[in-house]
Amino acid sequence: IVATGICRSDDHVVTGALAMPFPIILGHEAAGVIESVGEKVTSLKPGDAVIPLFVPQCGECRSCLNTKGNLCIKNDLSSSPTGLMADGTTRFTCKGKAIHHFIGTSTFTEYTVVHETAAAKIDSAAPLEKVCLIGCGFSTGYGAVLQTAKVEAGSTCAVFGLGGVGLSVVMGCKAAGASRIIAVDINKDKFAKAKELGATECINPKDFKKPIHEVLTEMTGQGVDYSFEVIGRIETMTAALASCHYNYGVSVIVGVPPAAQKITFDPMLIFSGRTWKGSVFGGWKSKDAVPKLVADYMKKKFVLDPLITHTLPFTKINEGFDLLRTGKR
């Protein structure tokens, strides 16, 4: 592993919001170089630059074979994750005791072991300390717009949450040609970067006395065409749904839902025609899409630098989590 990002999903495991078996090595947004391969591996060889894939692509299951799906059956993102390799074993130990894998990647380590279906070979000239973001955050947000929602030119969009993934959603909306991109966050310090990347307006729910979905409905007249929840809170998920157009609006859940929490909502929100969707890894078929996304980055079709706020040595990883929790990233 040459470089790894810190994602809110990693912190969700630490806080217990995302249930995983312990002890575990976290991390899932990374880039590295193949050190060695198993005897049956044919698509990768030592020296290849790769991005580990927390959503694998086996190419054989129904999701992989269907043009509509990308969540391969070999994933370990279920409600009861095993924390093990596909063969039921772990390749990590500490003082003789087994340590679990995290969603098939475990990148907070100098070396990791992933299945062949969970690594994408990329351009060896790509800067690994930047394209590691294509392993999760950027692809997740950008793809939620282009792959999952399929936003059309001229659309109005609302983006709830302006972390790295939310900013990638903003970038996706701009790339799709959206006419209005309304960024929503309670941290106004994030507004400047959101506007730099394409947001046309930024609003803080704390500045209003009425619910944010009512504010957005008034701003747009009957609601936005597309809304994206990129935080992982049930309150903002329902607010995002309510803020999209009552008849043909589409709301996409991008943030990881908190464990053991249920949503209660008025079914009229759906009955009238709205669509509520989820998106994992931006809907991309990982092994196919990641090399193409890296190629697009190399062709300067999108930027990644604005998403990188701090670069720290591995020994300061806890400081990185502190920055994440205080919103300074």
pLDDT digits (tens, 9 = 90+) for 246-274: 999 999 999 988 877 899 999 999 999 99
Distance from C-alpha of 152 to C-alpha of 175, rounded to nearest angstrom: 10
Is 101 catalytic? The answer is: no
Distance CA 204, CA 154 (A): 24
What is the Cα–Cα distance from 99 to 73, expressed in whole angstroms?
A: 23
7 counts as catalytic: yes
Whether 115 is a known active-site residue: answer no
Q: Is 12 annotated as catalytic?
A: yes
Given a cut of 90, whether residue 53 has pLDDT beyond it is: yes
pTM of the model: 0.96
Average pLDDT (180-206) is 97
Q: What would the two tokens of residue 291 be? A: 């090399």
Q: How far apart are CA 49 and CA 78, in angstroms?
A: 28
pLDDT of 329 over the 60 cut: no
Amino acid 328: pLDDT: 63
The pLDDT value recorded for residue 17 is 84
pLDDT at residue number 259 = 76
| Catalytic status, residue 213 | no
What is the overall mean pLDDT for the chain? 95
Among 203, 175, 209, residue whose Cα is nearest residue 191: 203
The single residue of 72, 136, 173, 202 carrying the catalytic annotation is 136
* Exposed/middle/buried for residue 85 (C-beta within 10 Å: 0-12, 13-18, 19+): middle
Between 72-86, 128-142, 202-216, 222-236, the lowest mean confidence (pLDDT) is in 72-86
Domains of the chain (ranges, CATH numbers): 3-137+283-326 (3.90.180.10), 149-278 (3.40.50.720)
What's the mean pLDDT in 144-153? 98
How large a percentage of the chain has pLDDT more than 70?
99
Number of Cβ within a 10 Å radius of residue 108: 19
Write the single-letter amino acid at 184: V
Cis-peptide, bond into residue 291, ω within 30° of zero: no
